[in-house]
Structure 1
């Protein structure tokens, strides 16, 4: 969307110029926001300086330059090290560094004690998706809703925004929850490709079938969510747990025959059998979740 040249652009300070930080920086520069950057390795800032960014010699100088301070560093420890001893009074601190929910909550309190307002973020995108609206990338935000509202337009320039609650840990929790599901999908796909690896089957022929199947199965998460809300794990079940458990030996035998380790499947199959042993024959797979949180 074209920027209105008559609207004053919020100045931004960005600490951290890795691949993601650099991508973020370029979107704010392109949108006309005054940008001050700092990085432990100064050489990374040279290209951005040529594109119009102001480069601070120190993190303290970068923080002092603007009210809105955004961190995109390696980890939570790096955030603490970079900001240690700096004057954060009156600053709007937005942390886009990957962290755990507990770290985000601690960082929010840490910021409050130093006179800063705090917003935590979890970016659901890789650097090439930043600044490309059609890519579908976005970021979760949690913490001060007033702070989010104040900077929504600025934060929305690199990627879409989704505010998920005033608990500062929720952005990190949503981020890790979605990424955990992604890795589970990757694990299943890896096992599928391993099964055909030694056969005269082109992986490129399996790929579209696999993608379509995963897409067809994805809406099942809505049924899982509904069952968790109601507590009725039998509602709408088309494939009862007893039937699914009965089919697992075929998966394991196939893996053995194909010379493929079943290690990506067996933990989940073990949970399915445990749930069935508790007498949950008519349920689907939702009850496995309760085994995980015990």
Structure 2
């Protein structure tokens, strides 16, 4: 099957991302049935040619290929099992592609849940925001994991909305890749915010710092390859240019500068603390890759207290 062969599919969920996906598939010539718990949010897609299903069960019955893009994993179960007050959907013989954001554990559980209901399952992690969907030049792509047969059969349809990257049969791998990349992004954004905060009250305009940040971070990003090599070999001291001891020695400068500028260091403190701990434990000759050893929990280690519900 190719992206140019019309192939009917169903989209469950017409929030910002679900709507973008449905419109992109419609634009590519694929017949699309949509369903949303709040029907009014699906209605605008009718003007683009979508068929609006009254219930999730009706939507699933309309197509063999069913794409879920809902609020969370619980919403997927509620919609398809009928826990939201509707009839449960018959997934027998269906191909379920779940693009709902979730954890690797969610994906593994949902894959088993789908198999028990007679469906093939593919999990996805969308590396894009809605305006990037359906634009070949946007760089948008989706990680997929789970049924290799499902992915191979529907790859053309899936590629009509964004690039595809299949990362393995283990259902949790797409979510794991998604969260790993987003975690790195959030760390970068934390550094950006701290950098801009340091400039508050000075004559340096944020727009003047921005291109310097982009250039600097772009130059630093390839360090990921060196870190990966060190993690794979276990040798954290080979060809070290800036040792952990040297970097830890600079921590007071970061903290004093923040204090002088009236900026909280809370976005940097966890990273700086790990750096100092690793150096103090006798690993000052390493680079920062060895700090991973402080992050990886043993099975007996308690989870840190996090303000997450």
- If the TM-score is normalised by the length of the shorter chain, which range does it land in? over 0.9
Render the CA deviation track for 1:103-148: whole Å, top value 9, x for unaligned. 1000000000000000000000000000111111100000011110
Runs of 4+ more than 4 Å apart = none
Partner of 1:254: 257
Render the CA deviation track for 1:58-115: whole Å, top value 9, x for unaligned. 1111000110000000000000000003211000000000000001000000000000
1:175 maps to 2:172: no
1:82 maps to 2:79: yes
TM-score normalised to structure 1 length = 0.97
SS at 2:283 equivalent: coil
The more displaced of 115-124 and 258-267 is 258-267
SS at 2:123 equivalent: strand
- Which one of 258, 265, 269 corresponds to residue 266 of structure 1? 269
Inter-partner Cα distance in structure 1 for 2:38 and 2:249: 57
Partner of 1:133: 136
Inter-partner Cα distance in structure 2 for 1:287 and 1:61: 53
1:205 maps to 2:202: no
User: Do the aligned residues in 1 keep the contact of 2:132 with 2:140 (CA within 8 Å)?
Assistant: yes
Inter-partner Cα distance in structure 2 for 1:89 and 1:192: 53
Partner of 1:33: 30
Inter-partner Cα distance in structure 2 for 1:146 and 1:236: 44
Q: Across the two proteins, how many residue pairs are aligned to each other?
A: 290
The more displaced of 282-291 and 38-47 is 38-47
Q: CA deviation at 1:3?
A: 6.5
- What pairs up with 1:102-117 in 2 under 5 angstroms? 102-117=105-120
Inter-partner Cα distance in structure 2 for 1:236 and 1:154: 46
User: Do the aligned residues in 1 keep the contact of 2:3 with 2:159 (CA within 8 Å)?
Assistant: no
User: Do the aligned residues in 1 keep the contact of 2:64 with 2:95 (CA within 8 Å)?
Assistant: yes
Alignment root-mean-square deviation, CA: 1.1
SS at 2:161 equivalent: coil
TM-score normalised to structure 2 length = 0.92
Inter-partner Cα distance in structure 2 for 1:246 and 1:91: 58
Inter-partner Cα distance in structure 1 for 2:102 and 2:25: 23
- Which one of 35, 43, 46 corresponds to residue 43 of structure 2? 46
Q: CA deviation at 1:264?
A: 1.0
Partner of 1:18: 15
SS at 2:23 equivalent: helix
Taking structure 1 as reference, are residues 179 and 3 closer, same or farther at Cα in structure 2, changes over 3 Å only? closer
Taking structure 1 as reference, are residues 168 and 60 closer, same or farther at Cα in structure 2, changes over 3 Å only? same
Taking structure 1 as reference, are residues 3 and 117 closer, same or farther at Cα in structure 2, changes over 3 Å only? closer
Partner of 1:101: 104
Unaligned runs of 5+ in 2: 82-87, 298-309
SS at 1:32 equivalent: coil
Unaligned runs of 5+ in 1: none
